[in-house]
Amino acid sequence: MSNITKEQKNCHHCEGKGYLEIRDCTGEVQREETCVFCEGNGQIVDEEDIITPENS
Ligand SMILES: [Zn+2]
């Protein structure tokens, strides 16, 4: 076991689908847009770039 891979998780923005469903006010899906958070991969590399505003 010598896999050197960063931990990947399903993108929670698109739930691992790689795209976002753009809905109108009635809830109907208008179109599908590539998720910008995972760049369409559906997975994101778990890195320490989570910005949490602590000082407010
Ligand atoms: Zn995504």
Q: Is residue 1 situated within a structural domain?
A: no
How many other C-beta atoms lie within 10 A of the C-beta of residue 15? 12
Q: Is residue 25 situated within a structural domain?
A: yes
Q: Is residue 5 situated within a structural domain?
A: no
User: Residue 26 is part of which domain span?
Assistant: 15-45
Of residues 1 and 28, more confidence is placed in 28
Cα 56 to averaged position of ligand 1 atoms, centre (Å)? 29
Cα 46 to averaged position of ligand 1 atoms, centre (Å)? 13
Cα 22 to averaged position of ligand 1 atoms, centre (Å)? 13
For 3, the token pair is 């896999």
Write the pLDDT tens digit of every residue in 4-50.
667 889 999 999 999 999 999 999 999 999 999 999 999 998 766 55
Of residues 12 and 51, more confidence is placed in 12
Cα 10 to averaged position of ligand 1 atoms, centre (Å)? 8
For 26, the token pair is 């009635």
Domain count along the chain = 1
Cα 7 to averaged position of ligand 1 atoms, centre (Å)? 15
Q: Is residue 51 situated within a structural domain?
A: no
